[in-house]
Amino acid sequence: MAAIVIDGKAEAAALRAEVAVDVAAFRERHRRVPGLVGIQVGDDPASELYQAGKARAAEEAGMISRRIVLPIETTQAELDAVIDELNADDAIDGMLVQLPVPDQLSEVLIANRIDPLKDVDGFAPVNLGRLVRGEPGSVPCTPAGVMWVLDRAGVPLEGATAVVVGRSLIVGKPMALLLIARSATVTVAHSRTKDLPALCRTADILVAAVGRPEMIRGDWIKPGAAVVDVGINRTDAGLRGDVATAEAAEVAGWITPVPGGVGPMTIAYLLKNTLDAARRRAGDDITTGDE
Ligand code: GUN
């Protein structure tokens, strides 16, 4: 059996087109467009690439997009001052600080500083709390994008056994919460998990977010499973996911490739979160359907 390969680029294009239509409607209603700011500290080439991609995508969706690049030695107080200014700026609906940040900066303090209404990453304690409680709020972009592709592919979630490999705040933890909210039975695996291959073989839905190139092998996959590869690993052989894709595709029912799978969805979802943030700030009555 050969897996259906999920086309993340096409899925992202569909979501971005939807957002662009809704941005135009927002503009009609409120006589302004949503505004997004990406903040980057230092000049890491990967961060540079992500930020440029996000800014371009926001503009293409009809939003205002700004990039702020701060020197690598920026202090927490200096970054706080930038965040405070954006919190107070009515034209700005969403901001994110590209992670990872240099050691002198704290991801915790950053997440606590950003106005939760403008937290389009969904990393603020209030938004993560809402996710736990099942209340509407900003949901982290990558796991939200994974839910989008699973739904569009018609993968059954209710009662399914899901294994999420990785427990990060950006992907693993919110991914588990989103799957639980859709009545999947979820296990979160990590570096201390015993017999990971055997656990993975129980998964109807397997989400890999560990950052280790091709760690998950073909014989770890349950026949017919949906395999979602969130890994983006730069290796000498090129960009690789966390899954040995060719092997896994022999066994799986669905699989997301790297590149061209989940990656493009993250940016598309950031745009959706920015639009939703603008709607909430403008007092529109919205339910995102994610919660
Ligand atoms: N670095 C890698 N992924 C992300 C993300 O989703 N948001 C932010 N802010 N930084 C990241």
DSSP state of 227: E
Q: 222, 201 in Cβ contact below 8 A?
A: yes
Annotation marks residue 98 as catalytic: yes
- Torsion 235-238-239-240 (CA) sign: negative
Annotation marks residue 54 as catalytic: yes
In a domain, 23, yes or no: no
Residue 230 has pLDDT above 70, yes or no: yes
Q: Both tokens of residue 53?
A: 């991609």
Q: Are 219 and 147 in the same domain?
A: yes
Distance 219 CA to ligand 1 centre (A): 31
Residue 259 has pLDDT above 80, yes or no: yes
In a domain, 76, yes or no: yes
Q: How many domains does the chain have?
A: 2
In a domain, 207, yes or no: yes
In a domain, 169, yes or no: yes
In a domain, 275, yes or no: no
Pocket perturbation via mutation, ligand 1, pick of 36, 37, 44, 96 by most ligand atoms within 8 A of CB: 96
How much is the pLDDT for 17? 98
Range of the domain at 70: 30-114
Residues 259, 263, 264, 268, Cα dihedral to 10°? 180
Distance 259 CA to ligand 1 centre (A): 17
Residue of 288, 290, 291 lying closest to 275 (CA atoms): 288
Residue 279 has pLDDT above 60, yes or no: yes
Q: Are 240 and 198 in the same domain?
A: yes
In a domain, 99, yes or no: yes
Q: Are 168 and 56 in the same domain?
A: no
Q: Are 110 and 178 in the same domain?
A: no
Q: Are 92 and 147 in the same domain?
A: no
Catalytic residue selected from 51, 54, 173, 272: 54
Q: What CATH number does residue 65 fall under?
A: 3.40.50.10860
Q: Are 177 and 241 in the same domain?
A: yes
Q: Are 103 and 146 in the same domain?
A: no
Query: Which atom of ligand 1 is closest in space to residue 141's alpha carbon?
Result: 6
Neighbour-count burial of 210, counting CB atoms closer than 10 A to its CB (0-12 exposed, 13-18 middle, 19+ buried): buried
Q: Are 167 and 251 in the same domain?
A: yes
The predicted model scores a pTM of 0.96
How much is the pLDDT for 33? 98
Annotation marks residue 173 as catalytic: no
Q: Are 174 and 253 in the same domain?
A: yes
Residues shown for the chain = 291
Q: How high does pLDDT run on average in the chain?
A: 96
Q: What CATH number does residue 184 fall under?
A: 3.40.50.720
Residue of 265, 236, 233, 11 lying closest to 245 (CA atoms): 233
How much is the pLDDT for 228? 98
In a domain, 128, yes or no: no
pLDDT tens digits, one per residue of 30-80: 999 999 999 999 999 989 999 999 999 999 999 999 999 999 999 999 999
pLDDT tens digits, one per residue of 150-176: 999 999 999 999 999 999 999 999 999
Residues 103, 105, 111, 114, Cα dihedral to 10°? -150
Q: Are 145 and 58 in the same domain?
A: no
Task: Decide: 142 in ligand 1 pocket, CB within 6 A.
Answer: yes
Distance 185 CA to ligand 1 centre (A): 27
Q: 256, 227 in Cβ contact below 8 A?
A: yes
Half-sphere exposure of 182 (CA within 13 A, CB side): 21
Pocket perturbation via mutation, ligand 1, pick of 40, 49, 98 by most ligand atoms within 8 A of CB: 98
Report how far apart, in Å, the C-alpha atoms of 258 and of each of 149, 169, 228, 241, 242 are: 14, 21, 10, 5, 9
Query: Which atom of ligand 1 is closest in space to residue 270's alpha carbon?
Result: 6
Residue 185 has pLDDT above 70, yes or no: yes
In a domain, 281, yes or no: no
Q: Are 42 and 96 in the same domain?
A: yes
Q: 162, 186 in Cβ contact below 8 A?
A: yes
Q: Are 103 and 169 in the same domain?
A: no
Residue 288 has pLDDT above 80, yes or no: no
